Structure 1
Amino acid sequence: MNKRFVAIVLTVLMVAGLISGCAGNSVSQNDNLSPEERTIRLRVNDSIPSLDWEQSTSLRAVKVWHQMFEGLYGMDEAKGGYYKELAKEVSLSDNQKEYTITLQDGVKFQNGEVMKASDVVFSYERAMKNPRFNYVTSMIEDVVEINDNTVKITLKTPFSAIDHTFFSIKISSEKEVLEQGDKFGTIPHKAGTGPYYVTEYNVATDIKLNAFEDYWRGSPAIKKIEYRVISDDAAAVIAFENHELDYLEDAPLTDWESLVKASGENHSLTKGNDVLFLGVNYLSPTNNNILVNDKVRQAIFYAVNKKDMNSAACNGYGVETPYYMPPEYVATSPKDGFETYEYNPEKAKLLLAEAGYPDGVDVGTILTYGASTGDKAKMAQVLQANLADVGITSAVSVMESAVVLPRLYDQDYDICIYADSNNFDFNNIRQMVHSESVGMYIVKYKDGPFNWKRLEELVDLGVSTSNVDERVGYYRELWSITMDSATLLPCLSKPVPTVWASNLEIGTPVPSFYKIRTFSWK
């Protein structure tokens, strides 16, 4: 009887294996439906905390909101920059401080209301009160309505990186936001001008969207969207291979070969601007404030083997980097003139001895977020091993981003592994080093032992001119001060791996801000 049972089980497993092995040739439920009835299914790594774009700057959330909301400017990564979106015409005053913006004609919110300049003023004023968006609004003096179709934005000083502000601040319906009040963001709404609006919102499991048929650019080809929360990378890979996902971006690189096989010709490794970092909180009280010791932090940095991190986290597809932003991607990013902390375990041991810890020391916990099998978790495990090799003891803790990110922003950690998705301008560094960027930076430089006043001065100088060479000079000094502090260490620049279903047309793959409105079913 037992032998028969075992045989039956083995047979079932073999059949299941055959089915799984042939997943690339199986037919998804979508194939039996008309294009109008099909739902494109995508993965999000973690729950989306809100349907209000102001509640987070996390890239995973922004990608979802990008389908619902629009800004005065959009970003086309495939063509390398910003473009006018809700703004139709933009004129700049001679003093480089006043932007007079004419809005696109006849744009409607998903609730049917026509977008007006008052909605732009409302959205900007709301963002300006939110510390999370200080890094893209602090340069604004005021925003005023000229008439229903024109708005004027006045800056305190000329600001060469203003395009990213016009992209980052999304326009919401004043009427809908005020009507929903405290519930806004927690329930479905139609407050955006984007091509899709939310119909169902289950924060822990999924978000469903429908096409906005009166969208100002025309009704999108894909009518239904479903974002599924799948935190485990292995589960996401299986879901794609079993045709339960139609588009999987930022796919796990450790499974890239199997995903390429499952996707046929529908895959892309796109050059990204997403960098994985190591952060050290010098304010941590752990072990009698051990991390305030410069030589201990430097020892940690010299102990880091980025090659091992690349192999573990990115299957070797990443690029070990000393840059906050890849210079080939961002013209204003400095290429040299700063400490890079090349892997040197012997120097790490020497620094520990000089710090008074020849027999090693405990530095607390390496904190990170995402899946326990994800890239950041794997980097944390490599870091733990690297530190142990030079006599530094540490623990590893991996939790959901909704738990970890607030702790990082509050400097409630010892060491962390985190990701920063940058933009097309080095001014993005402001969110990491400027004291006004509360709720964004993970290291608090203000009032610390570093030259933080000069850091902030250099941030301002960097956007005071449009001359690229001058800006690179300011940012070189800025990044040199930051690296000398041994608090932020760029580790890996990731490509963005994307796979998609054979019946889906996506155009040119982009690293971050894909637009489902440009997709179509074959």
Structure 2
Amino acid sequence: MKKTALLLVLCMVLSAALFGCSDTGTTEGDSTTPPASDNNENTDEQTPARTDLNLALTETPGTFDPHYTSLAVEQTILKQVYEPLIRIVGDGEEFPVLATDYTISEDGLAYTFNIREGVTFQNGDELTASDVVFSFERAKASAYLYTATEAISSIEAPDDHTVVITLSRVYAPFPQYLEQVYIISEDYYNEVGEDTFAAEPCGTGPYTLADYQTAVSATMEAYPDYWGGEAAIKTLNFKVISDTSTTLIAFEAGELDCIGVPPANWADIEASGKYSTQIVSGVNVGFMMMNHEVEPFNDKLVRQAISHAINRDDVCLMAMDGMAVPAYMLPNPDQVTGATEDTVMLEYDPEKAMELLAQAGFPDGFDAGPIKVTSGLVEKVAQVVQSNLAAVGIDSTIEIVELTAYSTDLTNGNYGLGITAATIGYDFSMYSIAYTSSAIGSFNFARYQNPEVDSLFSEALSTVDSEARNAVYKQILDIIQDDAVYVPIFYPATGSAANPNLNYNLDRGNVYYDWSWK
């Protein structure tokens, strides 16, 4: 048996409450904390540390069902309430949560998890292996978790604290997907029913959802019987503030304790010396989607032309105020295992774009219709893209759509062009959800179908040897890059600012459990 040890540490993350376009990231550069103000002189009588934290949600959550959501804003809440067996942080390091450790059978098919003892759900019920089995069986029925669960052939609980997950084939990246499946209480779900379950979450995490006012606010309270010990911060107060300027004003007025700083304001905030600041980057990518079931985006030449038409440098400078770098592929080759720059890159070349349009039968260009986006930074990106497209003869408009409706439109293929930003993962295998035909209706927003790509992803996922697996990934990259499935545009770098008295750390996981006040 091969033993996979898990470090007994909980991970933390910068949430979508701070950055609306992403819920993951790794910290780069130094964290800057200003010296104490002269107004905060030490006295014999110390002021008690605060126990509340005030944050902003950039959008309105639509559901709190952990198995049927893909929105970062919903994950911000869910990751405080629910927990997976293990969590993946940084460059793929595994941290134990509800599983203390696990073993893998010699044939690579059976994963045996030891379930942490003494854990209770927030309604007082004890966590047992049957809850884990129920959770994975429910997750298998969800299109949102298809990639994470499709290789599972059986889930069994030989006793109350052991779970055996058997795969139908060797699936090398399986542990990387485990953090996507939150463990829920079987009894609670059956008792309250699906609707109440989606509105009143009950997990094993460090915080409970005490109050939620749709489109207004959410209040979370520390769970006193949390297995890791009660959180130092007792209350999380979230305000729904969709406008970044309003968020910044609230932060500067002291109404919020930590925010993602709009790129246009980063230099001023950092130079002020008033706040703790950090730069966060990761695998988040901003990209244009083209619906391959809608003409003329079903034509590879048109898609290639669109990619050549977009000046990524202009987008990074004009829309992102320099807080981004150009992207020519969805997986960031500097961050994602298995991704390589040694592949097709459809870079800015407007003359080539017009040549390709002529080959496709559009020598004078065409009307592309609306580019669907949500409000905020992506809208600014769309404005630059719209100008770039017009320069090669492609006319378009910009249509701003509310987030939940936008997600539904993308999932159902109710669009021609759209721009979004998303975080997929740190291993190239995870990008199968954007390219395989089985993921149409979930994250394959392009509705791209290529049997060869489907087959190659299956081959890669069952290849244990990393060098051989990366060779298959290279074949996939060459195909999808040439097919111009999407138009990658930028990898954002996000600056955060916080109250200087807040001990905060930015990492993957979206959990505020280890944050505290000085």
With the length of structure 1 as denominator, give the TM-score of the two structures. 0.87
| Corresponding residue number in structure 1 for 2:423 | 421
CA shift at 1:254, angstroms? 2.1
Instruction: Indicate whether 1:463 and 2:469 are aligned.
Output: no
Please tell me whether residue 320 in structure 1 is matched to residue 326 in structure 2.
Answer: yes
Q: CA deviation at 1:107?
A: 0.8
Structure 2 unmatched runs, 5+: 1-35, 40-45
Correspondent of 2:389 among 387, 390, 400: 387
CA distance, structure 2, for counterparts of residue 292 and residue 26 of structure 1: 64
Distance 2:238 2:37 in 1: 24
Match of 2:263 in 1: 253
Farther off after superposition, 377-386 or 430-439: 430-439
Matching residue within 392, 412, 415 for 2:414: 412
User: Is 1:501 aligned to residue 506 of structure 2?
Assistant: no
Separation of aligned partners in 1, 2:76 and 2:474: 31
Cα distance in 2 for partners of 1:445, 1:187 equals: 34
Asked if 1:123 is matched to 2:148, the reply is no
Q: Please identify, of 261-270 and 207-216, the stretch whose mean Cα deviation from structure 2 is larger.
A: 261-270
Q: 1:475 aligns with which of 467, 473, 476?
A: 473
Higher Cα Rg: structure 1 or 2? 1
Measure the CA separation in 1 of the matches of 2:402 and 2:268: 26
More helix by share: 1
* SS at 2:81 equivalent: coil
Q: Structure 2 counterpart of 1:81, which letter?
A: E
Instruction: Tell me if structure 2 keeps the 8 A contact 1:327–1:333.
Output: yes
Instruction: Return the alpha-carbon distance in structure 1 between the equivalents of residues 257 and 47 of structure 2.
Output: 14
Selected match of 2:150 from 135, 138, 156: 138
Looking at structure 1, the residues matched to 102 and 87 of structure 2 have their Cα atoms a distance apart, in angstroms, of 14
| Paired residues of 1:45 and 1:60 also in contact (CA < 8 A) | yes
1:334 counterpart residue number? 340
Q: Percent identity?
A: 29
Letter in 1 for 2:145: F
Relative distance call for 1:429 and 1:231 in structure 2 (3 A) is same
Q: Could you tell me which of 359, 362, 375 is aligned with 2:364? A: 359
2:225 to 196, 214, 236: 214
1:304/1:463 CA distance change after superposition, 3 Å = same
Task: Describe the shift of the 1:315–1:432 C-alpha distance in structure 2 as closer, same or farther (beyond 3 A).
Answer: same
After TM superposition, the structure 1 = structure 2 runs for residues 204-283 of structure 1, keeping only pairs within 5 Å, are 204-249=215-260, 251-261=261-271, 264-283=274-293
* Matches of 2:418 and 2:136, distance apart in 1: 32
- Secondary structure (helix, strand or coil) at the match of 1:367 reads strand
Q: Do structure 1's residue 102 and structure 2's residue 114 form an aligned pair?
A: yes
What secondary structure, in the 3-state scheme, does the structure 2 residue paired with 1:53 have?
A: coil
Separation in structure 1 between the aligned mates of residue 285 and residue 217 of structure 2, nearest angstrom: 27
Higher normalized contact order (CA 8 Å, seq sep 6+, divided by chain length): 2
For this pair of structures, how many residues does the alignment match? 477
Letter in 2 for 1:428: M
Residue 42 of structure 1 pairs with residue 52 of structure 2? no
- Where do residues 295-310 of structure 1 align in structure 2 (5 Å cutoff)? 295-310=301-316
Partner of residue 434, structure 2:
432
Distance in 1 between residues matched to 2:414 and 2:269, nearest whole Å = 37
Q: CA deviation at 1:80?
A: 4.9
Residue of structure 2 equivalent to 1:93: 105
Q: What's 1:6 paired with? A: none
Unaligned runs of 5+ in 1: 1-23, 447-451
Equivalent residues in 2 for 1:159-198, closer than 5 Å: 159-189=171-201, 191-198=202-209
Per the TM alignment, residue 409 of structure 1 is displaced from its structure 2 partner at its CA by 1.3
Structure 2-normalised TM-score?
A: 0.88
Match of 1:8 in 2: none
> Within 2, Cα distance between the matches of 1:520 and 1:513?
17
Amino acid across the alignment from 2:362: Y
SS at match of 1:273: coil
For residues 74-125 of structure 1, the C-alpha deviation after alignment (integer angstroms, 9 at most, x for no partner) is 1333x75222211112111111100111111111111111100010011101
Q: Is the 8 A contact 1:82 1:167 kept in 2?
A: no
Match among 46, 51, 75 for residue 64 of structure 2: 51
Q: CA deviation at 1:34?
A: 4.4
CA contact 2:286–2:489 (8 Å) conserved in 1: yes
Contact 1:435–1:445 (Cα < 8 Å) also in 2 = yes
CA contact 2:329–2:481 (8 Å) conserved in 1: no
Q: Would the alpha carbon gap of residues 277 and 26 (structure 1) be closer, same or farther in structure 2, given more than 3 Å must change?
A: farther
Between the aligned partners of 1:80 and 1:398, the Cα distance in structure 2 is: 36
CA separation of 1:60 and 1:356: change in aligned 2, threshold 3 A: same
Structure 1 residue 309, shift from structure 2 partner: 0.7
In structure 2, the residue matched to 1:294 is 300
Is the 8 Å Cα contact of residues 433 and 443 (structure 2) preserved in structure 1? Answer: yes
Tell me, in whole angstroms, the C-alpha distance in 1 between the residues paired with 2:65 and 2:287: 27
CA separation in 1, counterparts of 2:495 and 2:175?
A: 27
How far residue 186 of structure 1 moved from its aligned partner, in angstroms, is 4.5
In structure 2, C-alpha distance between the alignment counterparts of 1:319 and 1:117, rounded to whole Å: 45
Distance in structure 1 (CA, Å) of the matches to 2:64 and 2:122: 14
User: Residues of 2 paired with 1:171 and 1:128: CA distance?
Assistant: 13
User: In structure 2, do the counterparts of structure 1 residues 26 and 444 end up closer, same or farther at CA, with 3 Å as the change threshold?
Assistant: farther
* Cα distance change of structure 1 residues 55 and 157 upon mapping to structure 2, 3 Å threshold: same
* Partner Cα separation in structure 1 for residue 471 and residue 320 of structure 2: 32
Conserved? CA contact 1:118–1:145, under 8 Å: yes
3-state secondary structure, aligned to 1:47: coil
Q: Secondary structure at the match of 1:517?
A: coil
Q: What SS does the corresponding residue of 1:444 show, helix, strand or coil?
A: coil
2:170 is paired with a residue whose SS is: coil
Amino acid in structure 2 at the alignment position of 1:380:
A
Once residues 197 and 278 of structure 1 are traced to their aligned partners in structure 2, the CA distance between those partners, rounded to angstroms, is 37
CA separation in 1, counterparts of 2:198 and 2:114? 32
Contact 1:297/1:487 (<8 A) preserved: yes
SS of equivalent residue, structure 2 residue 192: helix
Structure 2 equivalent of residue 521 of structure 1 = 517
CA contact (8 A) 2:170 2:464 kept: no
Mapped to 2, the partners of 1:222 and 1:517 lie a distance apart of 7
Q: Distance in 2 between matches of 1:168 and 1:264?
A: 37
- Report the equivalent of 2:18: none
Secondary structure at 1:465 match in 2: coil
Q: CA, structure 1 residues 352+26, in 2 after alignment: closer, same or farther (shift >3 Å)?
A: farther
Any idea what SS the aligned residue of 1:518 has?
coil
CA–CA distance in structure 2, aligned partners of residues 436 and 221 of structure 1? 43
| Whole-angstrom CA distance in 2 between matches of 1:187 and 1:474 | 43
**DSSP 3-state at the match of 1:111:** coil
Rounded Cα–Cα distance in structure 1 between residues aligned with 2:116 and 2:236: 26
| CA positional deviation for 1:33 | 8.3
Contact conserved, 2:323 with 2:494, CA < 8 A, in 1? no
In the alignment, the residues of structure 1 paired with residue 509 and residue 145 of structure 2 have an alpha-carbon distance, to the nearest angstrom, of: 19
Provide the secondary structure at the position in 2 that maps to 1:365: strand
